[in-house]
Amino acid sequence: MNTRKVVFLFWSTFLIGTTAGLLMGIMLDFNTHMQDLRNGQVGGVFMLFIGAGIWTIIAQMGFFAYLTIHRFGLGIFKSTKLWNRIQVVLILFALFDLMLFRYWAFGTAEETITDYAILPFLLLVYAVIVAYLKAKDTNFTAFIPALFFMVVVTTIEWIPALRENDMTFLLTAIVPLLVANTWQLLVLHRLHEQPN
């Protein structure tokens, strides 16, 4: 992949992820932001833009880190089947930890651990859809790596927001992360297929 394609991937991911995060932030507090804009105050929307941009850049760093880790995994284990099995174990571990650690940190007497299983379940459903699309566009061997990236890497990128028990913060973080990660994953092979 040449420099032009890397620059395209960076800027397209940044614009798509940041726009998605900005729109989510505006929708979560629509009346306040619209009132501010009518009064000529753009500070709140600008801060949403900055926040969404930061999450998108985190997603980009996670993507390139995963590409490196994936190559190391294939090199160390010498077998795609073994590396895929390890990735499946890590996916299950990440989903379980996403549920359990949040329950331990924020669970109240009225809540059960199943209340904290909703976010991991939704993340898994979304990741399966994206991994299916990736496998359909490339080949079936891409399913497990794509699923691993969408679940494990996204969860790691999401950790700063997961440390808070604020649904607004969780949503304004996960939307740019998921959109950016989805875009990067689904466009990468298309960039490779294009002539230089």
Report d(CA 169, CA 163) in Å as an integer: 10
Q: Comparing 37 with 76, which gets the higher pLDDT?
A: 76
Per residue in 66-82, pLDDT (tens digit) is: 999 999 999 998 889 99
pLDDT at 156: 97
| 146: its two tokens | 């794509």
The lowest-confidence range among 29-43, 91-105, 106-120, 161-175 is: 29-43
At 37 the pLDDT is 82
* Whole-number Å distance between alpha carbons of 138 and 136: 6
User: In which residue are the tokens 């420099």 written?
Assistant: 3
User: What value does the mean pLDDT of the chain take?
Assistant: 93
Query: Strand locations in the chain, DSSP E?
Result: none
Nearby residues of 119 by Cβ (< 8 Å), 6 or more positions away: 98, 99, 102, 170
Q: Is the pLDDT of residue 196 over 70?
A: no
Taking residues 168-195, report their average pLDDT: 93
195 pLDDT more than 90: no
pLDDT, tens digit, 9 for 90 and up, residues 132-168: 999 999 999 999 999 999 999 999 999 999 998 899 9
**Alpha-carbon distances, residue 73 vs 88, 102, 132, 143, 190 (angstroms):** 13, 29, 22, 16, 23
Residue 14 has pLDDT above 70, yes or no: yes
Write down the pTM of the prediction: 0.93
Q: Where are the domains of the chain?
A: 3-193
User: Tokens in use for 57?
Assistant: 């850049």
Round to whole Å and give the CA distance between 86 and 64.
20
Structure tokens at 175: 């939307």
Residue keyed to tokens 């973080």 = 173
Confidence of residue 33 (pLDDT cuts 50, 70, 90): confident
